[in-house]
Amino acid sequence: MPVLLKIEELEPGMVLAEKVVNGVSVLMQRDKVLEEKDISLLTKRFPDLEVRIIDPLLDERISFQNDSLDQDISFTVRVKALSTINKMDTTIRTKTGLDEKNCAAFIKSVSEMVAWIQTNHIKTAILPISKTYEEHRANVFFLAVAIGAFSRNHIRNERYRLSVAKKIWNVMDLKPLATAALLQDVGMVPIKHLLAKQDLNEDEAEMIKMHPIRGAEMIPDTIHSLVRQAVKMHHENVNGTGYPAGIPGDKVNVLAKVVRVADAYCSTIAPEVFKKIKSPFETLYEMLFGQYKVFYDPAILRILARVVQPFQIGARIKINTMETAVITKHDLENPFNPQMVIAYNKEGRKLTGDELQPAFFINDREDILFKTCDGQDITYLNDVPHHEFKSEEEAAVITK
Ligand SMILES: [Fe+2]
Protein backbone atom coordinates (compact mmCIF):
# COMPACT_ATOMS: atom_id res chain seq x y z
CA MET A 1 0.00 0.00 0.00
CA PRO A 2 1.87 3.15 1.01
CA VAL A 3 5.43 4.38 1.18
CA LEU A 4 6.05 7.66 2.95
CA LEU A 5 7.86 10.00 0.55
CA LYS A 6 9.28 13.49 0.82
CA ILE A 7 7.89 16.16 -1.45
CA GLU A 8 11.07 16.20 -3.58
CA GLU A 9 10.64 12.48 -4.27
CA LEU A 10 7.16 12.85 -5.78
CA GLU A 11 6.63 12.26 -9.48
CA PRO A 12 3.64 12.82 -11.75
CA GLY A 13 1.46 9.70 -11.99
CA MET A 14 2.00 8.67 -8.36
CA VAL A 15 -1.22 7.97 -6.45
CA LEU A 16 -1.91 9.34 -2.95
CA ALA A 17 -2.50 6.64 -0.34
CA GLU A 18 -3.96 9.19 2.09
CA LYS A 19 -5.50 12.60 1.88
CA VAL A 20 -3.12 15.50 2.15
CA VAL A 21 -4.21 17.92 4.84
CA ASN A 22 -2.96 21.26 6.02
CA GLY A 23 -4.08 21.68 9.59
CA VAL A 24 -7.80 21.19 9.28
CA SER A 25 -8.27 21.68 5.53
CA VAL A 26 -8.06 18.85 3.03
CA LEU A 27 -5.80 19.82 0.12
CA MET A 28 -5.94 16.61 -1.87
CA GLN A 29 -8.06 13.50 -1.55
CA ARG A 30 -6.93 9.91 -1.13
CA ASP A 31 -6.45 8.05 -4.47
CA LYS A 32 -5.66 11.27 -6.34
CA VAL A 33 -3.23 10.79 -9.23
CA LEU A 34 -0.59 13.49 -8.83
CA GLU A 35 0.02 15.89 -11.68
CA GLU A 36 2.95 18.23 -12.19
CA LYS A 37 0.92 21.18 -10.92
CA ASP A 38 0.01 19.34 -7.70
CA ILE A 39 3.66 18.61 -6.99
CA SER A 40 4.60 22.26 -7.69
CA LEU A 41 1.90 23.41 -5.29
CA LEU A 42 3.08 21.07 -2.54
CA THR A 43 6.75 21.98 -3.13
CA LYS A 44 5.98 25.67 -2.88
CA ARG A 45 3.66 25.62 0.11
CA PHE A 46 4.74 22.58 2.15
CA PRO A 47 8.36 21.72 1.32
CA ASP A 48 8.78 19.71 4.54
CA LEU A 49 5.67 17.63 4.11
CA GLU A 50 5.82 13.86 3.73
CA VAL A 51 3.01 12.05 1.96
CA ARG A 52 2.09 8.40 1.62
CA ILE A 53 2.08 7.17 -1.93
CA ILE A 54 0.65 3.88 -3.15
CA ASP A 55 3.41 1.49 -4.14
CA PRO A 56 1.84 -0.99 -6.58
CA LEU A 57 4.51 -3.67 -6.16
CA LEU A 58 4.49 -3.65 -2.35
CA ASP A 59 0.73 -3.38 -2.42
CA GLU A 60 0.45 -6.54 -4.47
CA ARG A 61 2.96 -8.59 -2.49
CA ILE A 62 2.70 -7.33 1.10
CA SER A 63 -0.25 -6.88 3.40
CA PHE A 64 -0.12 -3.42 4.94
CA GLN A 65 -2.14 -2.34 7.93
CA ASN A 66 -4.90 -0.02 6.79
CA ASP A 67 -5.04 2.89 9.22
CA SER A 68 -7.34 5.09 7.16
CA LEU A 69 -10.14 4.82 9.73
CA ASP A 70 -7.78 6.00 12.48
CA GLN A 71 -6.68 8.85 10.19
CA ASP A 72 -10.28 9.87 9.58
CA ILE A 73 -11.26 9.75 13.26
CA SER A 74 -8.22 11.80 14.24
CA PHE A 75 -8.94 14.38 11.55
CA THR A 76 -12.63 14.69 12.42
CA VAL A 77 -12.04 15.10 16.16
CA ARG A 78 -9.18 17.55 15.75
CA VAL A 79 -11.16 19.70 13.30
CA LYS A 80 -14.06 19.95 15.74
CA ALA A 81 -11.76 20.52 18.72
CA LEU A 82 -9.91 23.28 16.86
CA SER A 83 -13.14 25.01 15.92
CA THR A 84 -14.31 24.86 19.56
CA ILE A 85 -10.92 26.14 20.81
CA ASN A 86 -11.02 29.07 18.37
CA LYS A 87 -14.54 30.02 19.46
CA MET A 88 -13.55 29.70 23.11
CA ASP A 89 -10.45 31.88 22.65
CA THR A 90 -12.49 34.54 20.85
CA THR A 91 -14.92 34.53 23.77
CA ILE A 92 -12.05 34.94 26.23
CA ARG A 93 -10.40 37.74 24.25
CA THR A 94 -13.39 39.77 23.18
CA LYS A 95 -16.06 39.22 25.80
CA THR A 96 -16.19 39.12 29.54
CA GLY A 97 -14.61 35.70 29.62
CA LEU A 98 -15.99 32.27 30.20
CA ASP A 99 -19.34 32.12 31.95
CA GLU A 100 -21.99 29.53 32.57
CA LYS A 101 -23.88 30.41 29.40
CA ASN A 102 -21.05 30.46 26.84
CA CYS A 103 -19.34 27.48 28.49
CA ALA A 104 -22.49 25.41 27.97
CA ALA A 105 -21.94 25.52 24.20
CA PHE A 106 -18.33 24.35 24.58
CA ILE A 107 -19.35 21.54 26.92
CA LYS A 108 -22.02 20.44 24.44
CA SER A 109 -19.34 20.23 21.78
CA VAL A 110 -17.12 18.19 24.18
CA SER A 111 -20.01 15.76 24.79
CA GLU A 112 -20.50 15.28 21.06
CA MET A 113 -16.80 14.60 20.52
CA VAL A 114 -16.65 12.15 23.44
CA ALA A 115 -19.71 10.28 22.14
CA TRP A 116 -18.15 10.12 18.70
CA ILE A 117 -14.79 8.79 19.99
CA GLN A 118 -16.60 6.17 22.08
CA THR A 119 -18.59 4.88 19.13
CA ASN A 120 -15.65 4.96 16.69
CA HIS A 121 -12.94 2.90 18.34
CA ILE A 122 -9.45 3.89 17.36
CA LYS A 123 -6.57 1.47 17.28
CA THR A 124 -3.99 4.23 17.30
CA ALA A 125 -4.18 7.97 17.95
CA ILE A 126 -2.65 9.50 14.83
CA LEU A 127 -1.23 12.94 15.56
CA PRO A 128 0.18 15.17 12.85
CA ILE A 129 2.71 17.90 13.55
CA SER A 130 0.86 20.99 14.71
CA LYS A 131 1.80 24.35 13.25
CA THR A 132 -0.12 26.59 15.60
CA TYR A 133 -0.70 26.74 19.33
CA GLU A 134 -4.40 26.08 18.74
CA GLU A 135 -3.66 22.98 16.62
CA HIS A 136 -1.39 21.78 19.42
CA ARG A 137 -4.23 22.13 21.92
CA ALA A 138 -6.53 20.19 19.56
CA ASN A 139 -3.89 17.44 19.45
CA VAL A 140 -3.67 17.40 23.26
CA PHE A 141 -7.45 17.16 23.49
CA PHE A 142 -7.58 14.23 21.07
CA LEU A 143 -4.70 12.35 22.69
CA ALA A 144 -6.00 12.85 26.26
CA VAL A 145 -9.45 11.59 25.32
CA ALA A 146 -7.92 8.71 23.35
CA ILE A 147 -5.90 7.74 26.46
CA GLY A 148 -9.09 7.92 28.51
CA ALA A 149 -11.12 5.90 26.02
CA PHE A 150 -8.38 3.31 25.77
CA SER A 151 -8.13 3.06 29.56
CA ARG A 152 -11.83 2.32 29.84
CA ASN A 153 -11.65 -0.48 27.30
CA HIS A 154 -8.37 -1.73 28.67
CA ILE A 155 -9.60 -1.84 32.26
CA ARG A 156 -12.76 -3.59 31.19
CA ASN A 157 -11.00 -6.12 29.01
CA GLU A 158 -7.91 -6.91 31.04
CA ARG A 159 -8.98 -6.17 34.61
CA TYR A 160 -6.18 -3.69 34.92
CA ARG A 161 -5.39 -3.51 38.64
CA LEU A 162 -2.97 -0.64 39.07
CA SER A 163 -4.32 1.76 41.67
CA VAL A 164 -4.12 4.82 39.41
CA ALA A 165 -6.03 3.02 36.72
CA LYS A 166 -8.71 2.24 39.28
CA LYS A 167 -9.00 5.93 40.02
CA ILE A 168 -9.29 6.62 36.32
CA TRP A 169 -12.07 4.11 36.13
CA ASN A 170 -13.95 5.78 38.98
CA VAL A 171 -14.09 9.12 37.24
CA MET A 172 -14.37 7.96 33.73
CA ASP A 173 -17.06 9.10 32.44
CA LEU A 174 -14.79 10.66 29.83
CA LYS A 175 -16.54 14.01 29.89
CA PRO A 176 -14.62 15.55 32.83
CA LEU A 177 -11.32 14.44 31.26
CA ALA A 178 -12.32 15.80 27.84
CA THR A 179 -13.48 19.08 29.37
CA ALA A 180 -10.21 19.43 31.29
CA ALA A 181 -8.23 18.65 28.12
CA LEU A 182 -10.15 21.30 26.19
CA LEU A 183 -9.82 23.95 28.91
CA GLN A 184 -6.30 23.10 30.12
CA ASP A 185 -4.57 26.14 28.65
CA VAL A 186 -7.27 28.82 28.78
CA GLY A 187 -5.00 30.66 31.23
CA MET A 188 -2.44 31.04 28.42
CA VAL A 189 -4.87 32.66 25.98
CA PRO A 190 -4.48 36.24 27.32
CA ILE A 191 -0.66 35.87 27.34
CA LYS A 192 -0.27 33.76 24.20
CA HIS A 193 2.11 36.35 22.69
CA LEU A 194 4.74 35.27 25.25
CA LEU A 195 5.10 31.91 23.49
CA ALA A 196 6.75 33.69 20.56
CA LYS A 197 9.20 35.65 22.71
CA GLN A 198 12.82 34.57 22.79
CA ASP A 199 13.95 35.83 26.18
CA LEU A 200 11.34 36.13 28.86
CA ASN A 201 11.93 38.53 31.73
CA GLU A 202 11.18 37.46 35.29
CA ASP A 203 7.62 38.81 35.29
CA GLU A 204 6.80 37.14 32.00
CA ALA A 205 8.23 33.81 33.14
CA GLU A 206 6.14 34.12 36.31
CA MET A 207 3.00 34.83 34.24
CA ILE A 208 3.55 31.63 32.27
CA LYS A 209 4.19 29.71 35.45
CA MET A 210 0.90 30.93 36.88
CA HIS A 211 -1.24 30.12 33.80
CA PRO A 212 -2.67 26.92 35.37
CA ILE A 213 -4.01 28.90 38.36
CA ARG A 214 -5.24 31.74 36.21
CA GLY A 215 -6.93 29.21 33.89
CA ALA A 216 -8.68 27.47 36.79
CA GLU A 217 -9.95 30.84 38.02
CA MET A 218 -11.33 31.65 34.57
CA ILE A 219 -13.55 28.57 34.57
CA PRO A 220 -17.03 29.15 36.00
CA ASP A 221 -18.12 27.32 39.16
CA THR A 222 -20.78 25.44 37.23
CA ILE A 223 -18.03 23.31 35.66
CA HIS A 224 -17.19 20.17 37.65
CA SER A 225 -14.67 20.91 40.41
CA LEU A 226 -12.50 18.00 39.17
CA VAL A 227 -12.05 19.86 35.89
CA ARG A 228 -10.99 23.10 37.56
CA GLN A 229 -8.61 21.14 39.76
CA ALA A 230 -7.16 19.35 36.71
CA VAL A 231 -6.55 22.66 34.91
CA LYS A 232 -4.79 23.98 38.00
CA MET A 233 -2.54 20.91 38.18
CA HIS A 234 -1.86 20.15 34.53
CA HIS A 235 1.86 21.05 34.79
CA GLU A 236 2.52 19.26 38.06
CA ASN A 237 4.94 16.34 37.91
CA VAL A 238 4.49 13.14 39.88
CA ASN A 239 7.96 13.60 41.45
CA GLY A 240 6.94 17.01 42.77
CA THR A 241 9.10 19.09 40.38
CA GLY A 242 6.24 20.59 38.36
CA TYR A 243 4.56 23.97 38.61
CA PRO A 244 2.91 26.09 39.91
CA ALA A 245 2.80 24.32 43.31
CA GLY A 246 5.33 21.47 42.99
CA ILE A 247 2.95 19.09 44.72
CA PRO A 248 3.72 15.36 44.86
CA GLY A 249 2.09 12.82 42.57
CA ASP A 250 -0.30 11.36 45.10
CA LYS A 251 -1.90 14.80 45.48
CA VAL A 252 -2.24 15.40 41.74
CA ASN A 253 -5.66 14.90 40.21
CA VAL A 254 -5.63 11.92 37.84
CA LEU A 255 -7.21 13.91 35.00
CA ALA A 256 -4.32 16.39 35.30
CA LYS A 257 -1.87 13.48 35.01
CA VAL A 258 -3.47 12.36 31.75
CA VAL A 259 -3.43 15.90 30.34
CA ARG A 260 0.23 16.29 31.47
CA VAL A 261 1.27 13.19 29.53
CA ALA A 262 -0.77 14.16 26.43
CA ASP A 263 0.61 17.72 26.51
CA ALA A 264 4.22 16.54 26.90
CA TYR A 265 3.94 14.14 23.97
CA CYS A 266 2.21 16.67 21.70
CA SER A 267 4.45 19.63 22.54
CA THR A 268 7.51 18.03 20.97
CA ILE A 269 5.64 17.64 17.69
CA ALA A 270 4.73 21.34 17.58
CA PRO A 271 8.09 22.79 16.49
CA GLU A 272 6.91 26.22 15.45
CA VAL A 273 5.07 26.75 18.72
CA PHE A 274 7.56 25.46 21.27
CA LYS A 275 10.83 25.89 19.32
CA LYS A 276 11.83 22.31 19.80
CA ILE A 277 11.23 19.27 17.75
CA LYS A 278 11.82 15.66 18.40
CA SER A 279 10.64 12.75 16.39
CA PRO A 280 7.67 10.85 17.82
CA PHE A 281 9.91 7.81 18.52
CA GLU A 282 12.50 9.92 20.37
CA THR A 283 9.75 11.63 22.38
CA LEU A 284 8.08 8.38 23.35
CA TYR A 285 11.39 6.69 24.16
CA GLU A 286 12.46 9.59 26.42
CA MET A 287 9.11 9.69 28.19
CA LEU A 288 9.13 5.96 28.81
CA PHE A 289 12.80 5.26 29.50
CA GLY A 290 14.70 8.55 29.63
CA GLN A 291 15.44 11.09 32.34
CA TYR A 292 11.96 12.64 32.09
CA LYS A 293 10.02 9.52 32.91
CA VAL A 294 9.98 10.54 36.59
CA PHE A 295 7.66 13.42 35.65
CA TYR A 296 4.82 11.19 34.57
CA ASP A 297 2.50 8.65 36.08
CA PRO A 298 3.83 5.21 35.05
CA ALA A 299 0.35 3.73 34.55
CA ILE A 300 -0.57 6.55 32.17
CA LEU A 301 2.74 6.27 30.32
CA ARG A 302 1.98 2.61 29.82
CA ILE A 303 -1.36 3.51 28.29
CA LEU A 304 0.29 6.21 26.14
CA ALA A 305 2.59 3.54 24.73
CA ARG A 306 -0.47 1.56 23.65
CA VAL A 307 -2.29 4.55 22.17
CA VAL A 308 0.38 6.19 19.99
CA GLN A 309 2.54 4.57 17.36
CA PRO A 310 5.68 6.55 16.63
CA PHE A 311 6.42 4.85 13.31
CA GLN A 312 3.98 5.65 10.53
CA ILE A 313 2.80 2.91 8.23
CA GLY A 314 4.91 3.38 5.09
CA ALA A 315 7.86 5.02 6.90
CA ARG A 316 11.30 3.95 5.73
CA ILE A 317 13.82 2.64 8.25
CA LYS A 318 17.47 1.98 7.53
CA ILE A 319 18.57 -1.21 9.26
CA ASN A 320 21.98 -2.52 10.37
CA THR A 321 22.53 -4.32 7.04
CA MET A 322 22.25 -0.88 5.35
CA GLU A 323 19.15 -2.08 3.55
CA THR A 324 15.95 -0.03 3.89
CA ALA A 325 12.75 -1.47 5.28
CA VAL A 326 9.22 -0.06 5.05
CA ILE A 327 6.86 -0.21 8.04
CA THR A 328 3.90 -2.43 7.20
CA LYS A 329 2.07 -2.93 10.46
CA HIS A 330 2.04 -1.83 14.12
CA ASP A 331 2.42 -4.09 17.11
CA LEU A 332 -0.44 -2.70 19.18
CA GLU A 333 1.20 -3.99 22.36
CA ASN A 334 4.63 -2.50 21.70
CA PRO A 335 5.24 0.74 19.78
CA PHE A 336 8.93 -0.12 19.25
CA ASN A 337 8.25 -3.43 17.57
CA PRO A 338 6.89 -2.49 14.15
CA GLN A 339 6.46 -5.02 11.39
CA MET A 340 8.49 -4.18 8.31
CA VAL A 341 9.53 -5.46 4.91
CA ILE A 342 12.97 -4.93 3.38
CA ALA A 343 12.14 -3.00 0.24
CA TYR A 344 15.42 -1.37 -0.88
CA ASN A 345 18.91 -2.89 -1.12
CA LYS A 346 22.14 -1.41 0.31
CA GLU A 347 22.57 0.83 -2.71
CA GLY A 348 19.04 2.17 -2.36
CA ARG A 349 17.67 0.25 -5.33
CA LYS A 350 14.11 -0.87 -4.94
CA LEU A 351 13.80 -4.65 -4.69
CA THR A 352 11.89 -6.46 -7.40
CA GLY A 353 8.93 -8.71 -6.66
CA ASP A 354 11.13 -11.82 -6.76
CA GLU A 355 13.63 -10.33 -4.33
CA LEU A 356 11.06 -9.30 -1.68
CA GLN A 357 11.07 -11.44 1.46
CA PRO A 358 8.09 -11.72 3.82
CA ALA A 359 7.46 -8.93 6.33
CA PHE A 360 8.63 -9.48 9.94
CA PHE A 361 8.34 -7.88 13.38
CA ILE A 362 11.76 -6.54 14.29
CA ASN A 363 11.78 -8.31 17.68
CA ASP A 364 11.44 -11.64 15.91
CA ARG A 365 14.72 -11.13 14.06
CA GLU A 366 17.89 -11.09 16.14
CA ASP A 367 19.92 -10.28 13.03
CA ILE A 368 18.01 -7.08 12.26
CA LEU A 369 18.57 -3.86 14.22
CA PHE A 370 17.35 -0.29 13.84
CA LYS A 371 19.89 2.11 12.34
CA THR A 372 18.36 5.38 11.11
CA CYS A 373 14.99 6.88 10.25
CA ASP A 374 14.82 10.03 8.17
CA GLY A 375 18.57 10.47 8.67
CA GLN A 376 18.31 10.32 12.48
CA ASP A 377 20.20 7.74 14.50
CA ILE A 378 17.70 5.38 16.11
CA THR A 379 20.11 2.72 17.33
CA TYR A 380 19.06 3.50 20.94
CA LEU A 381 15.76 1.80 20.14
CA ASN A 382 17.65 -1.50 19.94
CA ASP A 383 18.03 -1.28 23.75
CA VAL A 384 14.33 -0.90 24.52
CA PRO A 385 13.35 -3.33 27.31
CA HIS A 386 10.63 -5.05 25.32
CA HIS A 387 9.35 -7.06 28.29
CA GLU A 388 7.92 -3.75 29.59
CA PHE A 389 5.23 -4.01 26.96
CA LYS A 390 4.07 -7.52 27.73
CA SER A 391 0.65 -7.88 29.27
CA GLU A 392 0.65 -7.88 33.07
CA GLU A 393 0.31 -11.61 33.35
CA GLU A 394 3.26 -12.10 30.99
CA ALA A 395 5.30 -9.41 32.76
CA ALA A 396 4.65 -11.09 36.10
CA VAL A 397 6.07 -14.33 34.73
CA ILE A 398 9.11 -12.53 33.35
CA THR A 399 9.93 -10.76 36.61
CA LYS A 400 9.52 -13.87 38.78
FE1 LIG B 1 -0.36 24.58 30.08
Q: What is the mean pLDDT of each run of 10 residues along the chain (400 residues)?
A: 87 91 82 94 87 86 88 91 93 82 88 88 87 92 93 61 53 83 93 84 90 94 92 95 92 93 89 75 93 92 93 94 96 94 94 91 95 93 85 45
The torsion of the CA quartet 177, 183, 187, 189, rounded to 10 degrees, works out to: 150
Distance 211 CA to ligand 1 centre (A): 7
Distance 198 CA to ligand 1 centre (A): 18
- pLDDT the model gives residue 387: 81
Distance 12 CA to ligand 1 centre (A): 44
- pLDDT the model gives residue 187: 93
- pLDDT the model gives residue 400: 35
**DSSP per position, 126-151:** --PPP-SHHHHHHHHHHHHHHHHHHH
How many angstroms separate the CA atoms of 264 and 354, rounded?
45
Residues with CB under 5 A from ligand 1 (ion): 185
Angle at 194 between CA 190 and CA 199, to 5 degrees: 160
Distance 398 CA to ligand 1 centre (A): 38
Distance 48 CA to ligand 1 centre (A): 28
Q: Which domains are present in the chain? A: 2-54 (3.90.105), 68-307 (1.10.3210.10), 316-399 (no CATH)
- pLDDT the model gives residue 279: 86
- pLDDT the model gives residue 164: 56
Distance 234 CA to ligand 1 centre (A): 6
- pLDDT the model gives residue 93: 86
How many angstroms separate the CA atoms of 45 and 15, rounded?
19
- pLDDT the model gives residue 210: 94
CB contact set of 11 (below 8 Å; sequence gap of 6+)? 34, 39
- pLDDT the model gives residue 171: 44
- pLDDT the model gives residue 166: 55
